[in-house]
Amino acid sequence: MAKTVKLNLNLVLLGIVIITALGLSIWTGVQNTGEIRGFVVDEKGNGVGGATVRIREKTLNLIKEGTFTETDPDGSFTFTEMHMIEFFIDAEYGDSFKSGELRYHLYFPGQDFELPREIILKPSNDR
């Protein structure tokens, strides 16, 4: 009798875990569109419009070719439909200004993410 109660309790707990995992998966799929957003600024913190931002996915064994976008006049940018877990991101403005490469790791593919800090452009010979 005690074994039956324990088995039933284990089955109930397993069911709760499965339902929770499915619910979380559905919720994240609906709530997230794979947008990665951020800002490119100069050393004084002013937004840099027209800068080129490159994002590259890192997989287990390689770093894929980059995808590019251009910043808006206020320095903001958005990549859409990104389904990666780990990536590198950097920016440049002409041949004179470049940023260092930043690396981020997400919790799941397609997660919406706003960079926690701006990408800072510096003179190319200053990096």
The third-level CATH classification (topology) of the domain covering 34-126 is Immunoglobulin-like (2.60.40)
Instruction: Tell me what pLDDT residue 116 has.
Output: 96
Mind listing the pLDDT tens digit for each residue in 81-109?
999 999 999 999 999 999 999 999 998 88
Which one, of 46, 65, 39, 45, lies nearest residue 54 by Cα?
65
Write the pLDDT tens digit of every residue in 26-63.
Answer: 555 556 789 999 999 999 999 999 999 999 999 888 88
Buried b (16+ CB within 10 A) or exposed e, 58-76: beeeeeeeebebebeeebe
Q: Are strands 76-79 and 36-41 parallel, antiparallel or unpaired?
A: antiparallel
Percent above pLDDT 70 for the chain = 87
Read off the pLDDT band of 6 (50, 70, 90).
Answer: confident
